[in-house]
Structure 1
Amino acid sequence: MTFQTLDDLDDGQQVLVRFDLNSPVEDGEVQDNRRFGRHATTLSELIDRDFAVAVMAHQGRPGDDDFLSLSQHAEILSDHVDHDVDFVADTFGDEALDAIDDLAGGDVLVLENTRMADGELPEEEPEVKAETEFVQTLAPEFDAYVNDAYSAAHRSHASLVGFPLVMDAYAGRVMETEYEANTAIAEKEFDGQVTMAMGGTKATDVIGVIDHIGDKIDDFLLGGIAGQLFLRAEGYPIGYDVGDMDLYTSQWEENHEIIEEILEERGDQITVATDVAYAEDGERVEADVEDVEEKGLGVMDVGTDTAEHYADVVRDSDAVFVKGALGVFEDEKFSTGTVSVLRAIAETDCFSVVGGGDTSRAITMYGMSEDSFDHVSIAGGAYIRALTGDELAGVEALKR
């Protein structure tokens, strides 16, 4: 391990912990999600080990509708750990400092949204963030800093990169497990085939991953927007905008040259759909890509034959990584590709990591258990950064 973890931290101290509790908001109500459950594992351990805990986290961005106080987050977190979790509507002012002074072993306090605090934003070098009043005021109040917010670790904000420069810093359990799983492609050795299923709406992400870890992967199974653009590059009339949308054109203009280079250099590693699914009169309709004649077909999923082939590839693999959905799985009619791959992974004794924001939602949405996978990442942007080889500011600060 390249940084200190909770195993290196003596019990019973006063610790400042950074979680990522950023959550969907509906009608002003913060929605419970897997991030609370994951961070609750770290928090429960800290409580059991008699730490006095102050929690930092963020919600939304200034100016957005979901930019809210963390009062609701404290209540949700309390439910997850079955323990009192207090809240103070202040981050590093007198009210927050008084509440921190009152902490005893086993107590938990959630501080106000870090993005409401002067000095948290914008992204700047760690050395700059370490000198902010935010960091300089809070750091002396604690014995140690714990960063558990892997999913926010690509941000160079004060609460993520400033504190490790001025105090003892450790990785929480979420940070530790996410880092190990998401660097496994580069660092772990596998005996058999290594497969990656990739989709989603951002072709640039897919291309960046292929470019960075192409030497580590035997077969890329493509779907989503990127899969359609690769089909377009092979000469099929697929991956074109319908009506006034601009989902494909701008991404094609930005990426078509590198897509063509990848197909030329790594064509034997790239697997694209042989059939696709689209909506007609509200129903799922499928067509072989060889039979598609009209540009602008609104493809919603890979076809059944493709889904079955992808599932067979997964079953023959020693390790499988998933980034992004192969289709619009939120609509059950177009979930075939995504769900077929996930179910094949769940039924197979392979090492598996599933990530890419919403993709992990398909696991519980379609009756699967997260226990059937080695790791289900709660990270979006940080997961992509790890796969494309970009440094994560929060992780680098812990290593320092």
Structure 2
Amino acid sequence: MFKTIDDLEPGQRLLVRVDLNAPVEDGVAQDNRRFASHADSIRRLLEDDHAVALMAHQGRPGRDTFISLESHAAVLADHLGQDVDVDFVADTYGEEALAAIDALESGDVLLLENVRMCEDELPEKDPEAHAESEFVRTLAPRFNAYVNDAYSAAHRAHASLVGFPLLLDAYAGPVMDAEYTANSAIQGRTFDGPVTMVLGGTKAEDLIPVIEEVEDTVDRFCLGGIVGELFCRAAGHDVGYDVDDTEFFDHQWDDHAETIERILETYGDRLTLATDLAYEDADGERAEVALEGLEKDTSYLDVGSETADTYADLVRESDAVFVKGALGVFEDERFAHGTVEVLSAIAETDCFSVVGGGDTSRAIGMYGLDENDFSHVSIAGGAYVRALTGDSLIGVEVLEDAV
């Protein structure tokens, strides 16, 4: 196991990796749950008189979301409150950044520029190679210790995540600790009753392997979203392909049809598929149609009410429920029914529950559900999927090796 911030002596100068990757509108970062989660971690560090320099990323080079972190500093400051300033420096390890770091005193918070603007950050390399980079070797001597709180990025072998633990004492932040413990539960914890997994969203190719990897742990799967339609297609229904200029289905079917069909044949008794689907009718209203005998001529944006009721009933009978991905386009209230029905059933049930993925977890706040009614609400996406399948997370491994 790794060391946590509880093991730190007070009054240290800390280099802290967080994940503030956020939606971007008109070049400005928009608030999401990650800011609130990491703000709680930062407050705990400030209570122990630490001086904190933050590293984070935003987007990828070449994409519209690849922007400076200047607007992120303002959002984070709002979450920390009026008594805490978040200074920003438009530099990561150059002279301007080093001067700002050297000026840090206990209680200060400094946000460095987007680490993905550094040439050394993005290449996937071994920790030893990243530890030799100019980026890591320049910053490391300025700090007493390194804290990784970015569980949601822990599957990435990037310099800011794996290089510093080889040169500095390394610790897990509160988000890292809580996420790792909850998301790994499916691998190391036993449950007395049925274990149900709800899979949805648009990235079917990430979720398909999960079914086989957790077959010893999960008793039944409820499928929706893109992955649900693809399995319905494998079951012989006329859905699961692109219409209306969408580009969600065909390439994922072409790449994974053989695996989907094998899973359906092998684990079909554990898979619960939709029996009805919802779409937007000519009047712009939600309409529903039975899957049996259906010929797809429009995009389906949610599971139907019958399917939602079935999935909710299975949840209520479960001792544990894991959710990855939404059952529909919940951002549109007309097509939130399936996702909200399942989340509501989890909230009212005394079961162990983990809701994973930044997008899906947003539905909890959007529709007035109480986060305290869930065992854990994860802000992770890719790392959550890796945890479900039992794959190692390089960002966690280097923290464990640092003990």
Shared fold, TM over 0.5: yes
What does residue 287 of structure 2 align with? 285
Q: Is the 8 A contact 1:233 1:260 kept in 2?
A: yes
What does residue 316 of structure 2 align with? 315
Query: Aligned equivalents of 1:299 and 1:95: distance in 2?
Result: 51
What does residue 75 of structure 1 align with? 74
**CA offsets 1:324-367 (integer angstroms, 9 cap, x no match):** 11112122222111111000011111111101231111111111
What does residue 363 of structure 1 align with? 364
- Matched ranges for 1:40-189 at <5 A: 40-82=39-81, 83-189=84-190
Describe the shift of the 1:118–1:239 C-alpha distance in structure 2 as closer, same or farther (beyond 3 A): closer
Greater shift, 22-31 or 342-351, is seen at: 22-31
The one-letter code matched in structure 2 to 1:354 is V
Q: Is the 8 A contact 2:140 2:164 kept in 1?
A: yes
Task: Look up the SS of the partner of 1:55 in the other structure.
Answer: strand
Query: Aligned equivalents of 1:272 and 1:65: distance in 2?
Result: 36
Q: Is the 8 A contact 1:238 1:297 kept in 2?
A: no
Task: Look up the SS of the partner of 2:216 in the other structure.
Answer: helix
Task: Look up the SS of the partner of 1:250 in the other structure.
Answer: helix
Query: Aligned equivalents of 1:303 and 1:291: distance in 2?
Result: 15
Whether 2:384 is the aligned partner of 1:391: answer no
The one-letter code matched in structure 2 to 1:12 is G
Whether 2:243 is the aligned partner of 1:222: answer no
Deviation at 1:283, TM superposition (A): 2.1
Q: Is the 8 A contact 1:239 1:296 kept in 2?
A: no
Task: Look up the SS of the partner of 1:340 in the other structure.
Answer: helix
Describe the shift of the 1:68–1:244 C-alpha distance in structure 2 as closer, same or farther (beyond 3 A): closer
The one-letter code matched in structure 2 to 1:126 is P
Query: Aligned equivalents of 1:113 and 1:248: distance in 2?
Result: 33
What does residue 268 of structure 1 align with? 269
The one-letter code matched in structure 1 to 2:177 is E
Q: CA RMSD in A?
A: 1.4
Query: Aligned equivalents of 1:107 and 1:386: distance in 2?
Result: 34
Query: Aligned equivalents of 2:241 and 2:160: distance in 1?
Result: 42
What does residue 212 of structure 1 align with? 213
TM-score (norm 1): 0.96
- Matched ranges for 1:230-245 at <5 A: 230-245=231-246
Deviation at 1:296, TM superposition (A): 4.0
Q: Structure 2 stretches of 5 or more lacking a match?
A: none
Q: After the TM superposition, which segments of 4 or more aligned residues of structure 1 sit over 4 Å from their partners?
A: none
Q: Is the 8 A contact 2:343 2:364 kept in 1?
A: yes
The one-letter code matched in structure 1 to 2:286 is R
Query: Aligned equivalents of 1:67 and 1:247: distance in 2?
Result: 23
The one-letter code matched in structure 1 to 2:206 is D
Query: Aligned equivalents of 2:89 and 2:47: distance in 1?
Result: 23
Deviation at 1:24, TM superposition (A): 1.3
Deviation at 1:297, TM superposition (A): 4.5
Deviation at 1:164, TM superposition (A): 0.6
Query: Aligned equivalents of 1:108 and 1:330: distance in 2?
Result: 34
TM-score (norm 2): 0.95
Deviation at 1:65, TM superposition (A): 2.4
Deviation at 1:93, TM superposition (A): 1.6
Query: Aligned equivalents of 2:310 and 2:348: distance in 1?
Result: 15
What does residue 26 of structure 1 align with? 25
Query: Aligned equivalents of 1:359 and 1:179: distance in 2?
Result: 18
**CA offsets 1:207-234 (integer angstroms, 9 cap, x no match):** 1110111111011001111111111111
Query: Aligned equivalents of 1:341 and 1:119: distance in 2?
Result: 43
Q: Is the 8 A contact 1:59 1:115 kept in 2?
A: yes
Q: Is the 8 A contact 2:33 2:362 kept in 1?
A: no
Describe the shift of the 1:266–1:74 C-alpha distance in structure 2 as closer, same or farther (beyond 3 A): same
Task: Look up the SS of the partner of 1:286 in the other structure.
Answer: strand
Q: Is the 8 A contact 1:15 1:143 kept in 2?
A: yes
Query: Aligned equivalents of 1:100 and 1:14: distance in 2?
Result: 9
Query: Aligned equivalents of 1:349 and 1:264: distance in 2?
Result: 32
Deviation at 1:96, TM superposition (A): 1.7
Task: Look up the SS of the partner of 1:42 in the other structure.
Answer: helix
Query: Aligned equivalents of 2:210 and 2:352: distance in 1?
Result: 19
Q: Is the 8 A contact 1:54 1:111 kept in 2?
A: yes
The one-letter code matched in structure 1 to 2:287 is V
Describe the shift of the 1:102–1:353 C-alpha distance in structure 2 as closer, same or farther (beyond 3 A): same
Greater shift, 70-79 or 134-143, is seen at: 70-79
Deviation at 1:15, TM superposition (A): 0.9
Query: Aligned equivalents of 1:241 and 1:248: distance in 2?
Result: 5
Greater shift, 210-219 or 251-260, is seen at: 251-260
Query: Aligned equivalents of 1:67 and 1:284: distance in 2?
Result: 35
Greater shift, 385-394 or 21-30, is seen at: 385-394
**CA offsets 1:231-259 (integer angstroms, 9 cap, x no match):** 11111112132244332222222222111
Q: Is the 8 A contact 2:326 2:360 kept in 1?
A: yes
The one-letter code matched in structure 2 to 1:127 is E
Q: Is the 8 A contact 1:147 1:175 kept in 2?
A: yes
- Matched ranges for 1:283-362 at <5 A: 283-292=285-294, 294-362=295-363
Describe the shift of the 1:208–1:171 C-alpha distance in structure 2 as closer, same or farther (beyond 3 A): same
Q: Is the 8 A contact 1:303 1:337 kept in 2?
A: yes
Greater shift, 326-335 or 168-177, is seen at: 326-335
